[in-house]
Chain A
Amino acid sequence: MTAANPARDRAPSGLRGCRIVGAGALLLVAVAGLTPAANRLAASYAEPEQLAPSDAIVVLGGDVTPDGWLDTAGSRRLLHGILLYHRGLAPLLVVSGGTPRDGVAEAEARERIAREMGVPPGSTLAVVGANTTREEAVLVGAALRARGVRSILLVSGPFHLVRARAVFARQGLEVRAAPVEDVALEAEMPGSRLVLARALAQEVAGWLYYRLVGAL
Protein backbone atom coordinates (compact mmCIF):
# COMPACT_ATOMS: atom_id res chain seq x y z
CA MET A 1 0.00 0.00 0.00
CA THR A 2 1.41 3.37 -0.96
CA ALA A 3 1.64 6.33 1.38
CA ALA A 4 -1.30 8.72 1.19
CA ASN A 5 -0.75 12.03 -0.57
CA PRO A 6 -2.28 14.67 1.76
CA ALA A 7 -3.04 17.08 -1.07
CA ARG A 8 -4.76 14.31 -3.04
CA ASP A 9 -6.79 13.26 0.01
CA ARG A 10 -7.97 16.82 0.63
CA ALA A 11 -8.94 17.53 -2.96
CA PRO A 12 -12.10 15.39 -3.40
CA SER A 13 -14.24 17.13 -0.75
CA GLY A 14 -13.42 20.58 -2.17
CA LEU A 15 -13.89 19.39 -5.71
CA ARG A 16 -17.25 17.87 -4.85
CA GLY A 17 -18.43 21.40 -4.04
CA CYS A 18 -16.96 22.63 -7.31
CA ARG A 19 -18.89 19.90 -9.11
CA ILE A 20 -22.16 21.25 -7.69
CA VAL A 21 -21.20 24.85 -8.52
CA GLY A 22 -20.20 23.79 -12.04
CA ALA A 23 -23.44 21.88 -12.61
CA GLY A 24 -25.44 24.81 -11.29
CA ALA A 25 -23.59 27.26 -13.54
CA LEU A 26 -24.10 25.06 -16.60
CA LEU A 27 -27.79 24.70 -15.81
CA LEU A 28 -28.14 28.45 -15.33
CA VAL A 29 -26.41 29.20 -18.65
CA ALA A 30 -28.54 26.59 -20.43
CA VAL A 31 -31.78 27.98 -19.00
CA ALA A 32 -30.75 31.59 -19.67
CA GLY A 33 -29.46 30.92 -23.18
CA LEU A 34 -31.74 28.22 -24.52
CA THR A 35 -35.14 29.04 -23.01
CA PRO A 36 -37.28 32.20 -23.07
CA ALA A 37 -36.82 32.55 -19.29
CA ALA A 38 -34.58 35.65 -19.60
CA ASN A 39 -37.11 37.32 -21.93
CA ARG A 40 -39.96 36.67 -19.53
CA LEU A 41 -38.04 37.86 -16.48
CA ALA A 42 -36.90 40.95 -18.38
CA ALA A 43 -40.46 41.75 -19.50
CA SER A 44 -41.77 41.49 -15.96
CA TYR A 45 -38.92 43.55 -14.43
CA ALA A 46 -38.65 46.31 -17.06
CA GLU A 47 -40.26 49.64 -16.24
CA PRO A 48 -43.22 50.20 -18.58
CA GLU A 49 -43.50 53.37 -20.67
CA GLN A 50 -45.66 56.12 -19.17
CA LEU A 51 -45.43 58.91 -21.72
CA ALA A 52 -47.47 62.00 -20.87
CA PRO A 53 -46.90 65.76 -21.07
CA SER A 54 -44.57 66.81 -18.24
CA ASP A 55 -42.60 69.82 -17.02
CA ALA A 56 -39.21 68.41 -18.06
CA ILE A 57 -37.47 65.51 -19.77
CA VAL A 58 -34.53 64.18 -17.75
CA VAL A 59 -31.98 62.10 -19.65
CA LEU A 60 -29.76 60.09 -17.34
CA GLY A 61 -26.04 59.73 -17.95
CA GLY A 62 -24.11 56.89 -19.50
CA ASP A 63 -20.44 57.28 -20.27
CA VAL A 64 -18.33 59.59 -22.40
CA THR A 65 -14.91 59.20 -23.96
CA PRO A 66 -12.22 61.80 -23.16
CA ASP A 67 -12.81 63.45 -26.55
CA GLY A 68 -16.52 63.86 -25.89
CA TRP A 69 -18.15 60.88 -27.61
CA LEU A 70 -21.05 59.24 -25.80
CA ASP A 71 -21.26 55.47 -25.36
CA THR A 72 -24.01 53.52 -27.12
CA ALA A 73 -26.45 53.49 -24.19
CA GLY A 74 -25.85 57.17 -23.52
CA SER A 75 -26.38 58.05 -27.19
CA ARG A 76 -29.66 56.13 -27.33
CA ARG A 77 -30.91 57.82 -24.20
CA LEU A 78 -30.01 61.26 -25.46
CA LEU A 79 -31.58 60.66 -28.87
CA HIS A 80 -34.77 59.39 -27.21
CA GLY A 81 -34.87 62.46 -24.97
CA ILE A 82 -34.40 64.81 -27.94
CA LEU A 83 -37.18 63.03 -29.87
CA LEU A 84 -39.52 63.34 -26.88
CA TYR A 85 -38.68 67.05 -26.71
CA HIS A 86 -39.45 67.52 -30.40
CA ARG A 87 -42.75 65.68 -29.89
CA GLY A 88 -43.64 68.46 -27.46
CA LEU A 89 -43.89 66.32 -24.35
CA ALA A 90 -42.00 68.86 -22.21
CA PRO A 91 -40.53 72.36 -22.67
CA LEU A 92 -37.21 71.55 -20.93
CA LEU A 93 -34.57 68.92 -21.68
CA VAL A 94 -32.28 68.12 -18.76
CA VAL A 95 -29.05 66.20 -19.30
CA SER A 96 -26.78 65.03 -16.54
CA GLY A 97 -23.55 63.13 -16.20
CA GLY A 98 -20.24 62.63 -14.52
CA THR A 99 -17.61 65.10 -13.44
CA PRO A 100 -15.23 66.43 -16.09
CA ARG A 101 -12.56 63.99 -17.25
CA ASP A 102 -9.79 65.45 -19.35
CA GLY A 103 -11.84 68.58 -19.83
CA VAL A 104 -15.07 67.00 -21.17
CA ALA A 105 -18.10 66.79 -18.90
CA GLU A 106 -20.69 64.29 -20.06
CA ALA A 107 -23.60 66.62 -19.39
CA GLU A 108 -21.98 69.42 -21.38
CA ALA A 109 -21.20 67.07 -24.28
CA ARG A 110 -24.84 65.97 -24.28
CA GLU A 111 -26.14 69.49 -24.11
CA ARG A 112 -23.97 70.45 -27.10
CA ILE A 113 -25.36 67.53 -29.12
CA ALA A 114 -28.94 68.41 -28.12
CA ARG A 115 -28.45 71.97 -29.35
CA GLU A 116 -26.94 70.75 -32.60
CA MET A 117 -30.04 68.57 -33.00
CA GLY A 118 -32.38 71.52 -32.77
CA VAL A 119 -33.15 71.96 -29.07
CA PRO A 120 -32.98 75.72 -28.35
CA PRO A 121 -30.38 76.86 -25.78
CA GLY A 122 -33.04 78.13 -23.38
CA SER A 123 -34.71 74.72 -23.37
CA THR A 124 -31.71 72.71 -22.15
CA LEU A 125 -30.20 72.33 -18.72
CA ALA A 126 -26.91 70.53 -18.07
CA VAL A 127 -26.42 69.24 -14.54
CA VAL A 128 -22.73 68.49 -14.08
CA GLY A 129 -21.10 66.52 -11.28
CA ALA A 130 -23.33 63.50 -10.70
CA ASN A 131 -21.48 60.20 -10.96
CA THR A 132 -24.16 57.81 -9.74
CA THR A 133 -27.92 57.51 -10.20
CA ARG A 134 -28.47 58.66 -6.63
CA GLU A 135 -26.26 61.72 -7.16
CA GLU A 136 -28.11 62.49 -10.40
CA ALA A 137 -31.42 62.37 -8.51
CA VAL A 138 -30.15 64.72 -5.79
CA LEU A 139 -28.50 67.27 -8.12
CA VAL A 140 -31.19 67.23 -10.82
CA GLY A 141 -33.93 67.24 -8.17
CA ALA A 142 -32.47 70.38 -6.57
CA ALA A 143 -32.04 72.12 -9.92
CA LEU A 144 -35.59 71.31 -11.00
CA ARG A 145 -37.23 72.27 -7.72
CA ALA A 146 -35.52 75.66 -8.02
CA ARG A 147 -37.25 76.07 -11.40
CA GLY A 148 -40.63 74.95 -10.07
CA VAL A 149 -40.61 71.70 -12.02
CA ARG A 150 -42.92 69.08 -10.53
CA SER A 151 -43.27 66.33 -13.12
CA ILE A 152 -40.60 64.73 -15.27
CA LEU A 153 -40.23 62.19 -18.02
CA LEU A 154 -37.22 60.12 -16.98
CA VAL A 155 -35.20 58.61 -19.84
CA SER A 156 -32.96 55.59 -19.26
CA GLY A 157 -32.79 51.85 -19.87
CA PRO A 158 -35.91 49.86 -18.91
CA PHE A 159 -34.13 47.96 -16.10
CA HIS A 160 -32.21 50.96 -14.78
CA LEU A 161 -35.45 52.95 -14.66
CA VAL A 162 -36.85 50.69 -11.91
CA ARG A 163 -34.15 51.98 -9.55
CA ALA A 164 -33.84 55.45 -11.05
CA ARG A 165 -37.57 56.15 -10.92
CA ALA A 166 -37.64 55.32 -7.21
CA VAL A 167 -34.68 57.57 -6.30
CA PHE A 168 -36.06 60.49 -8.34
CA ALA A 169 -39.49 60.07 -6.74
CA ARG A 170 -37.77 60.47 -3.36
CA GLN A 171 -36.79 63.97 -4.50
CA GLY A 172 -40.46 64.94 -4.50
CA LEU A 173 -40.87 64.74 -8.28
CA GLU A 174 -43.73 63.11 -10.13
CA VAL A 175 -41.77 60.65 -12.29
CA ARG A 176 -42.98 59.09 -15.54
CA ALA A 177 -40.82 56.48 -17.20
CA ALA A 178 -39.60 56.92 -20.76
CA PRO A 179 -37.58 53.76 -21.28
CA VAL A 180 -35.25 53.27 -24.22
CA GLU A 181 -33.89 49.80 -24.88
CA ASP A 182 -30.16 49.55 -24.28
CA VAL A 183 -30.39 45.78 -24.68
CA ALA A 184 -32.86 43.80 -26.82
CA LEU A 185 -35.77 42.73 -24.57
CA GLU A 186 -37.05 40.25 -27.16
CA ALA A 187 -33.83 38.26 -27.54
CA GLU A 188 -34.14 35.25 -29.84
CA MET A 189 -30.56 34.00 -30.07
CA PRO A 190 -28.80 32.23 -27.20
CA GLY A 191 -26.02 34.84 -27.13
CA SER A 192 -28.51 37.73 -27.02
CA ARG A 193 -30.44 36.01 -24.24
CA LEU A 194 -27.26 35.67 -22.19
CA VAL A 195 -26.51 39.37 -22.73
CA LEU A 196 -30.07 40.16 -21.63
CA ALA A 197 -29.75 37.92 -18.55
CA ARG A 198 -26.47 39.59 -17.61
CA ALA A 199 -27.95 43.09 -17.99
CA LEU A 200 -30.92 42.07 -15.88
CA ALA A 201 -28.73 40.51 -13.18
CA GLN A 202 -26.54 43.63 -13.12
CA GLU A 203 -29.52 45.93 -12.59
CA VAL A 204 -31.16 43.69 -9.98
CA ALA A 205 -27.81 43.74 -8.12
CA GLY A 206 -27.82 47.55 -8.38
CA TRP A 207 -31.36 47.68 -7.01
CA LEU A 208 -30.41 45.38 -4.12
CA TYR A 209 -27.35 47.56 -3.36
CA TYR A 210 -29.51 50.69 -3.29
CA ARG A 211 -31.95 48.93 -0.93
CA LEU A 212 -29.03 47.88 1.25
CA VAL A 213 -27.61 51.40 1.57
CA GLY A 214 -31.05 52.94 2.11
CA ALA A 215 -31.22 54.81 -1.20
CA LEU A 216 -34.63 53.30 -2.05
Chain B
Amino acid sequence: MRDMDLIGVVALTCLAAYLWGTRRAGLSAAGLRAATTATLETIGLCVLFLAANLALALLAILVARAWTDRFLSVYTPDYITFAGVSLLQGLFCRWWLERD
Protein backbone atom coordinates (compact mmCIF):
# COMPACT_ATOMS: atom_id res chain seq x y z
CA MET B 1 0.00 0.00 0.00
CA ARG B 2 1.43 3.36 -1.03
CA ASP B 3 1.75 6.26 1.40
CA MET B 4 -1.19 8.19 -0.04
CA ASP B 5 -3.40 5.08 0.00
CA LEU B 6 -2.58 4.58 3.66
CA ILE B 7 -3.23 8.21 4.53
CA GLY B 8 -6.46 8.14 2.51
CA VAL B 9 -7.79 5.05 4.30
CA VAL B 10 -6.91 6.47 7.72
CA ALA B 11 -8.46 9.84 6.84
CA LEU B 12 -11.68 8.11 5.75
CA THR B 13 -12.01 6.07 8.94
CA CYS B 14 -11.23 9.19 11.01
CA LEU B 15 -13.95 11.12 9.17
CA ALA B 16 -16.44 8.25 9.66
CA ALA B 17 -15.63 8.09 13.39
CA TYR B 18 -15.99 11.89 13.67
CA LEU B 19 -19.38 11.87 11.95
CA TRP B 20 -20.60 8.94 14.02
CA GLY B 21 -19.35 10.59 17.23
CA THR B 22 -20.87 14.01 16.61
CA ARG B 23 -24.16 12.92 14.95
CA ARG B 24 -25.00 9.61 16.59
CA ALA B 25 -23.11 9.33 19.87
CA GLY B 26 -23.67 12.91 20.98
CA LEU B 27 -19.98 13.74 21.38
CA SER B 28 -18.86 17.37 21.11
CA ALA B 29 -16.34 18.55 18.52
CA ALA B 30 -14.63 20.55 21.28
CA GLY B 31 -13.84 17.28 23.08
CA LEU B 32 -11.50 16.36 20.22
CA ARG B 33 -8.85 18.74 21.53
CA ALA B 34 -8.84 17.03 24.93
CA ALA B 35 -8.79 13.62 23.22
CA THR B 36 -5.78 14.66 21.10
CA THR B 37 -3.96 15.86 24.21
CA ALA B 38 -4.72 12.63 26.09
CA THR B 39 -3.54 10.56 23.10
CA LEU B 40 -0.24 12.43 22.92
CA GLU B 41 0.24 12.00 26.67
CA THR B 42 -0.42 8.27 26.41
CA ILE B 43 2.00 7.86 23.51
CA GLY B 44 4.57 9.85 25.48
CA LEU B 45 4.14 7.55 28.48
CA CYS B 46 4.53 4.48 26.24
CA VAL B 47 7.74 5.90 24.75
CA LEU B 48 9.13 6.63 28.22
CA PHE B 49 8.31 3.10 29.40
CA LEU B 50 9.92 1.69 26.25
CA ALA B 51 13.08 3.74 26.80
CA ALA B 52 13.24 2.65 30.45
CA ASN B 53 12.65 -1.01 29.60
CA LEU B 54 15.31 -1.02 26.87
CA ALA B 55 17.83 0.85 29.02
CA LEU B 56 17.31 -1.61 31.86
CA ALA B 57 17.58 -4.62 29.54
CA LEU B 58 20.82 -3.32 28.00
CA LEU B 59 22.23 -2.54 31.45
CA ALA B 60 21.39 -6.08 32.61
CA ILE B 61 23.18 -7.49 29.54
CA LEU B 62 26.28 -5.37 30.15
CA VAL B 63 26.32 -6.37 33.84
CA ALA B 64 25.89 -10.06 32.93
CA ARG B 65 28.77 -9.77 30.46
CA ALA B 66 31.02 -8.13 33.04
CA TRP B 67 30.20 -10.34 36.02
CA THR B 68 29.64 -13.77 34.48
CA ASP B 69 31.35 -15.92 31.87
CA ARG B 70 28.17 -16.06 29.85
CA PHE B 71 27.97 -13.89 26.73
CA LEU B 72 24.69 -12.19 26.04
CA SER B 73 24.19 -10.32 22.79
CA VAL B 74 22.54 -6.90 22.81
CA TYR B 75 20.31 -8.38 20.12
CA THR B 76 18.99 -10.93 22.65
CA PRO B 77 16.01 -8.90 23.97
CA ASP B 78 12.80 -9.28 22.01
CA TYR B 79 12.33 -5.62 21.07
CA ILE B 80 8.91 -6.16 19.51
CA THR B 81 7.59 -7.70 22.73
CA PHE B 82 9.15 -4.84 24.69
CA ALA B 83 7.26 -2.38 22.48
CA GLY B 84 3.97 -4.21 23.07
CA VAL B 85 4.46 -4.41 26.83
CA SER B 86 5.47 -0.74 26.98
CA LEU B 87 2.27 0.14 25.15
CA LEU B 88 0.26 -1.65 27.84
CA GLN B 89 2.26 0.03 30.60
CA GLY B 90 1.64 3.46 29.06
CA LEU B 91 -2.09 2.83 28.66
CA PHE B 92 -2.38 1.48 32.20
CA CYS B 93 -0.49 4.43 33.67
CA ARG B 94 -2.55 7.00 31.72
CA TRP B 95 -5.85 5.46 32.83
CA TRP B 96 -4.58 5.31 36.40
CA LEU B 97 -3.76 9.04 36.30
CA GLU B 98 -7.14 9.74 34.72
CA ARG B 99 -9.04 7.99 37.48
CA ASP B 100 -6.96 8.94 40.50
Query: What's the Cα separation between A180 and B75 when bound, in Å?
Result: 19
User: Are A26 and B40 within 8 A (Cβ)?
Assistant: yes
Query: What's the Cα separation between A34 and B46 when bound, in Å?
Result: 21
B3 contacts across to A, CB distance below 8 A: 34, 190
Q: Mark A46-70, 1 if CB is under 8 A from B, else 0.
A: 0000000000000000010000000
A212 contacts across to B, CB distance below 8 A: none
Query: What's the Cα separation between A172 and B37 when bound, in Å?
Result: 56
User: Are B47 and A21 within 8 A (Cβ)?
Assistant: yes
User: Are A21 and B71 within 8 A (Cβ)?
Assistant: no
Residues of chain B from 1 to 55 with CB closer than 8 A to chain A in the complex: 1-3, 6-7, 37, 39-48
Is B100 on the interface with A (CB-CB < 8 A)?
A: yes
Is B73 on the interface with A (CB-CB < 8 A)?
A: yes
Number of interface residues of B (CB under 8 A): 22
Secondary structure at chain B's binding surface: helix, strand, loop or mixed?
helix
User: Are A19 and B41 within 8 A (Cβ)?
Assistant: yes
User: Are A25 and B71 within 8 A (Cβ)?
Assistant: no
Residues of chain A from 24 to 44 with CB closer than 8 A to chain B in the complex: 25-26, 34
Number of A-B residue pairs having CB atoms within 8 Å of each other in the complex: 58
User: Are B73 and A19 within 8 A (Cβ)?
Assistant: no
Whole-angstrom distance between the Cβ of A164 and the nearest chain B Cβ: 15
User: Are A25 and B44 within 8 A (Cβ)?
Assistant: yes
Is A171 on the interface with B (CB-CB < 8 A)?
A: no
Query: What's the Cα separation between A25 and B100 when bound, in Å?
Result: 26
Of A11, A21, A99, the contact of B48 (CB 8 Å cutoff): A21
Of A11, A19, A131, the contact of B97 (CB 8 Å cutoff): A11
Whole-angstrom distance between the Cβ of B91 and the nearest chain A Cβ: 12
User: Are A189 and B1 within 8 A (Cβ)?
Assistant: yes
Query: What's the Cα separation between A63 and B73 when bound, in Å?
Result: 10
Is A87 on the interface with B (CB-CB < 8 A)?
A: no
A25 contacts across to B, CB distance below 8 A: 43-44, 47
Q: Identify the A interface with B (CB < 8 A).
A: 5, 7-8, 11, 15, 17-23, 25-26, 34, 63, 98-99, 131, 188-190, 206
